Amino acid sequence: MTSQQPESTHGDVAEEHGHGHSLAAWAGVATCLVGFLVLSLAVVFTHLVSGIVGGAIILASLVVSYGLAKAGHGVKDSHGRPVGVGRSRR
């Protein structure tokens, strides 16, 4: 049996969802990595306050990503329009 579905490539998926190549995505990931570093060091050295600070930094990375995306630094398509889960269907 053969399928009549069109072939999809990885490039199509990357274009559809933006693949995370934006300032908002990179800033969010970098902030989250710093938070995980602080949290990991807090676990190793058993320091409760550092653990709470690390967790707060991780949560702050969500705010950083969302804020930058809303400010226009998120992923855009070839026409300059934002892409992603919340966009309207044509």
Is pTM beyond 0.75? Reply is no
pLDDT higher than threshold 70 for residue 85: no
In whole angstroms, what is the distance from residue 74 CA to residue 26 CA?
10
Residue 46 confidence (pLDDT): 93
Of the two residues 30 and 10, the one the predictor is more confident about is 30
- Is the pLDDT score of 69 beyond 60? yes
Between 83 and 89, residue with greater pLDDT = 83
Taking residue 15's Cβ as centre, other Cβ atoms within 10 Å add up to 14
User: What pLDDT sits at residue 90?
Assistant: 55
Task: Determine contact, residues 27/64, Cβ cutoff 8 Å.
Answer: yes
Q: Please report how the helices 23-44 and 48-68 are oriented relative to each other, as an axis angle in degrees rounded to 10.
A: 170
